[in-house]
Amino acid sequence: MKLVLTLAVLFYFMATGLAKAAPGKALVAYFSWGGNTRGIAELIHEQTGGDIFEIVPAKPYSGNYNTVLDEALRDQRAQARPALKDQVQNMAQYDVIYIGYPNWWASIPMPIATFLESYDFSGKTIVPFCSHGGGRLGQSVAAIAKLSPNVKILEGLSVHYTGGSSLKSDITAWLKKIGQAR
């Protein structure tokens, strides 16, 4: 009996200790126009587990590069909130939300603003990541912080275009650095 009790106490402390050490349930939510951010999101999801969700504007942006440059600038100047196609079911189940996007005009694409305003993230952890053509995260983290009160924002990851062959190990190192490795 004594042994059973001792083992039970031991297992309890092991389980609660592990629970504290492991990061909470993750959602990787991303918007991608050309596919680069999607590739990064998929690799992050592979390493964090949890769920993955694509943020899709109800009205798609043009597939033409020059046209989307104009559309994105127009949206940003107007601080537009483009409607989204789908909603995340039961956001309450997630503790850590990775938010991915291409750097658009040095900040977040406006569908990300719509996404951030669609849910109550209070008490959750937000982890930004972006694909860029040289501007890294730009002003995007400040924009996210402004739209997401009462959240903890961890150090973001910026990836040059697709990230190349070191992307997987770069993600592993980054997750370790921010305390989110599994």
Ligand X SMILES: Cc1cc2nc3c(=O)[nH]c(=O)nc-3n(C[C@H](O)[C@H](O)[C@H](O)COP(=O)(O)O)c2cc1C
- What does the binding site for ligand X look like in residue numbers (CB under 6 A)? 32-37, 68-69, 72, 102-106, 131-135, 161
How many whole angstroms separate alpha carbon 137 and alpha carbon 110?
A: 15
| Beta carbon of residue 19, minimum distance to ligand X (angstroms, whole number) | 35
Instruction: Please identify, using beta-carbon distances, which residue of 130 and 151 lies nearer to ligand X.
Output: 130
How far does CA 62 lie from the centroid of its chain?
A: 24
CB of 65 to ligand X, least distance (A): 6
Q: Which of 58, 49, 40 is nearest to 118 (CA)?
A: 58
Distance (Å, whole) CA 75 – CA 122: 26
Provide the minimum distance between the beta carbon of 97 and ligand X in the complex, in angstroms, as a whole number. Answer: 18
Closer CB to ligand X, 15 or 142, in the complex: 142
Q: Give the CA dihedral 82, 118, 55, 160, nearest 10 degrees.
A: 90
Residues 6+ apart with CB under 8 A from 83: 57, 58, 59, 114
- Residue 55 or 151: which CB sits closer to ligand X? 55
Looking at beta carbons only, is 32 or 180 nearer to ligand X?
32
**Residue 42: CB minimum distance to ligand X, A:** 12
